[in-house]
Chain A
């Protein structure tokens, strides 16, 4: 990753540096060498060029939360396929969660993942280490050793750290390492169902998980962050109560950050009802209206509109720091079954941008703010200026995404680079698409040939 590239004529949106203007961007030897919004950059003879006219040019997206499934679940995804999907989604750095097999709880597994990523990865991969051995919630991993091996955070994702004492210890130890603990906040004694508890679960006769199952755990984590001084990062926030709690914690100056997924920002639990007649009307001829679509089964569950509205507001006003995909690929067999038996998760890399750009098109968030939550917002949480990802500042890694704000396209899950075709958005029309993804000055993904201009 040490190539050079000149990206010409795009709308450069670099929130970390307060830039939103048309200009040129030069990457030299893998790093940002110059940004010019005043009239044209000169690059050394032979530097390849990308024609970005009409496109947005932003720092490559940083995903705090994805599941690459390797090692252990290669039928669902591999580091090779997962990072290709990430590149297609505009992500240049992805943090992979440790619910692999084995879990990411030893130096050897961290090194394996980093080695696979170097050999086969299309984008940068930063592993998240487990909090507890085998994510079993009993004994802490060797946290300093994992940090030295390269993990950027700790999480038992998929499971909360249920034991408050262990969570306290994890936060105290990770504070010294300067790394966050990312918690999957869910009181599992309260969350026994398979979808959001509310009118849709009641109509469908499915077990519900109340928002309170998330709220109570978020509250606990915030108090533990206060107790220890540690940095707790709330994974995939999904409730209005949790947004309120995080806002209060930030107002009190605590080291609390939060992420939200594209699907929780844009979809509600009504997705699971499909066209089943909550308001009457015959649906039996419509392939049963796609009711009980297991591709919409995800944890935390898709919630009701009031929660979605609170999440969008929290994203807009900065209570929520980052958009994270929680890309969770599964096989067809994992999903082609009774709703109760289906795995939780949505394959999210390749629809993330088109999905969240709906918020921009609807005027609910400005483009620079949205880009910030995809770049500098998440970068600050795991990188704290270490490598400069998430910005286009001079000297930062040459990680860039070019996207067309207005291009309309129809989601075709079968065409995903990800092995996981599990998305409730299949067949939906989205507006906004990634045109090219650049990692360290090399093109990792290009959707249009025309963007590839020839070097002069």
Chain B
């Protein structure tokens, strides 16, 4: 099997996948077990080894076609999927569309069916509306990877966040992770809540009450890790191991949800001073793109406690792992 050269000293990824039936889609982390997340992260480690080689190319997905279908602008997610696919020797087609917010033009289902007819194996979908990947998964037989849908989910981001945390702390279980900012509109927060709690981390969501979703403690089901809500940042940061700042959108101000950016900074900016409440070993993360100096201070974002760059690097390895798990010819169930 082609990929065995990738992982000489480790168990082969096909063994890592165990006996569970092969996954068809990656729509969210809500249906990932801890074991499956663990397998994904271990596969990502194997992929990182490929990334460290001089010639970064393996033939694993040769002859497979991956389409990135992006209805919303994105730099890092799209680029890292493309790079991941190309390193694995897949053919990668990039499609972007600006028609997502209207019903003009071809419908999403018709577009996906067209791609299916053209022989695409995987659609990597980014969409501004929650649930769009489920629509494609239901009406085509292609594998769908959710690269971010509306406010709902961003599972590959959450997996790379988990990978980054595990790399630094050697564990996820028992860590206190604080996610700060616009939780209401954040797909990154939602997927991280599923993933982190499944792996046994305790999650605290912190933000202004207008940007915290309703009934959030009831929304995410049972999991090994705890879930808490806190509107006071200093209290939330108490004893934190990881602090994840989320991008704040300026339109929240005009929508009547925030008085001003100035007020937001005053109450919710993650900065060096506030990090004094967290553990000494605490690190900060940001899914990007950052409003440098708004939700996170410039010094902190670019300093020694920042994991932002590792997040980007790990993004490629995690996405390689997922593409491999979905499309590798060697792991048919």
Say whether A associates with B. Answer: yes
A residues bordering B, Cβ < 8 Å? Answer: 197-206, 208, 210, 276-285, 287-292, 333, 336-341
Q: Identify which of A210, A288, A338 gathers the most chain B CB atoms within 10 Å of its CB.
A: A338
Q: Quick one: closest B residue to A196, CB to CB? A: B214
Instruction: Indicate which residue in B24, B103, B130, B223 contacts A206 across the interface (CB closer than 8 Å).
Output: B130
Instruction: Indicate which residue in A197, A333, A338 contacts B132 across the interface (CB closer than 8 Å).
Output: A338
Is B261 positioned at the interface, with any CB of A under 8 Å from its CB? Answer: no
Jot down 27 A-B pairs with beta carbons below 8 A, ordered by A: A197-B214, A199-B215, A199-B218, A199-B219, A200-B219, A203-B219, A205-B151, A205-B152, A206-B150, A279-B222, A282-B31, A282-B32, A283-B31, A284-B24, A287-B138, A288-B25, A288-B27, A291-B134, A292-B135, A337-B107, A337-B109, A338-B100, A338-B127, A338-B129, A339-B135, A340-B150, A341-B103
CB-based contact A281/B31 at 8 Å: yes
The bracket for how many chain B residues form the interface is: 35 or more
CB-based contact B131/A204 at 8 Å: yes
CB-based contact B131/A292 at 8 Å: yes
Shortest CB distance B147–A (Å): 15
CB-based contact B137/A288 at 8 Å: yes
Q: Quick one: closest A residue to B133, CB to CB? A: A288
Describe A's contact surface by its main secondary structure: loop
- Inter-chain residue pair count (beta carbon < 8 A): 113
Is B52 positioned at the interface, with any CB of A under 8 Å from its CB? Answer: no
Give Cα distance in the complex from A278 to B28, angstroms. 11
Is B119 positioned at the interface, with any CB of A under 8 Å from its CB? Answer: no
Give Cα distance in the complex from A200 to B216, angstroms. 9
Shortest CB distance B121–A (Å): 16
Give Cα distance in the complex from A444 to B148, angstroms. 51
Chain B residues with CB below 8 A from A336, complex form: 107, 109, 139
Chain B residues with CB below 8 A from A338, complex form: 100, 108, 127, 129, 131-132, 135
CB-based contact B129/A340 at 8 Å: yes
Instruction: Indicate which residue in A198, A199, A290 contacts B138 across the interface (CB closer than 8 Å).
Output: A290
Is B149 positioned at the interface, with any CB of A under 8 Å from its CB? Answer: yes
Shortest CB distance B206–A (Å): 16
Question: 0/1 per residue, B190-217, Cβ < 8 Å to A?
Answer: 1000000000000000000000011110
Question: 0/1 per residue, B1-44, Cβ < 8 Å to A?
Answer: 00000000000000000000101111110111100000000000
Is B187 positioned at the interface, with any CB of A under 8 Å from its CB? Answer: yes
Is B220 positioned at the interface, with any CB of A under 8 Å from its CB? Answer: yes
CB-based contact A279/B221 at 8 Å: yes
Chain A residues with CB below 8 A from B107, complex form: 333, 336-337
* 10 closest A-B pairs by CB: A205-B152, A292-B131, A205-B151, A202-B219, A202-B213, A205-B130, A199-B215, A282-B31, A199-B218, A199-B219
Chain B residues with CB below 8 A from A277, complex form: 30-31, 221
Q: Quick one: closest A residue to B136, CB to CB? A: A288
Question: 0/1 per residue, B214-244, Cβ < 8 Å to A?
Answer: 1110111111000000000000000000000
Shortest CB distance A121–B (Å): 32
Give Cα distance in the complex from A285 to B133, angstroms. 14
Chain A residues with CB below 8 A from B190, complex form: 203, 205
Is B46 positioned at the interface, with any CB of A under 8 Å from its CB? Answer: no
Chain A residues with CB below 8 A from B21, complex form: 285
Give Cα distance in the complex from A277 to B153, angstroms. 13
CB-based contact A337/B103 at 8 Å: yes
Known: A284-B25, A338-B132. A208 touches B30 (CB 8 A): no
Give Cα distance in the complex from A276 to B149, angstroms. 15
Chain A residues with CB below 8 A from B149, complex form: 205
Give Cα distance in the complex from A285 to B21, angstroms. 9
Shortest CB distance A144–B (Å): 40
Known: A199-B214, A340-B129. A288 touches B134 (CB 8 A): yes
Shortest CB distance A197–B (Å): 5
Chain B residues with CB below 8 A from A333, complex form: 107
Chain A residues with CB below 8 A from B31, complex form: 277, 280-284
Shortest CB distance A56–B (Å): 39
CB-based contact A341/B214 at 8 Å: no
CB-based contact A201/B214 at 8 Å: yes
Give Cα distance in the complex from A205 to B128, angstroms. 11
CB-based contact B30/A285 at 8 Å: no
Instruction: Indicate which residue in A202, A205, A282, A287 contacts B214 across the interface (CB closer than 8 Å).
Output: A202
Known: A200-B219, A337-B109. A205 touches B103 (CB 8 A): no
Chain B residues with CB below 8 A from A282, complex form: 23, 31-33
Shortest CB distance B190–A (Å): 6
CB-based contact B137/A287 at 8 Å: yes
Give Cα distance in the complex from A277 to B24, angstroms. 16
CB-based contact B135/A337 at 8 Å: yes
Chain B residues with CB below 8 A from A292, complex form: 130-131, 134-135
CB-based contact B216/A341 at 8 Å: no
Shortest CB distance A232–B (Å): 29
CB-based contact B215/A280 at 8 Å: no
Shortest CB distance B233–A (Å): 21
Give Cα distance in the complex from A340 to B149, angstroms. 12
Shortest CB distance A188–B (Å): 14
Q: Quick one: closest B residue to A341, CB to CB? A: B103
Instruction: Indicate which residue in B27, B109, B150, B215 contacts A205 across the interface (CB closer than 8 Å).
Output: B150
CB-based contact B214/A291 at 8 Å: no
Give Cα distance in the complex from A200 to B131, angstroms. 13
Give Cα distance in the complex from A279 to B218, angstroms. 10
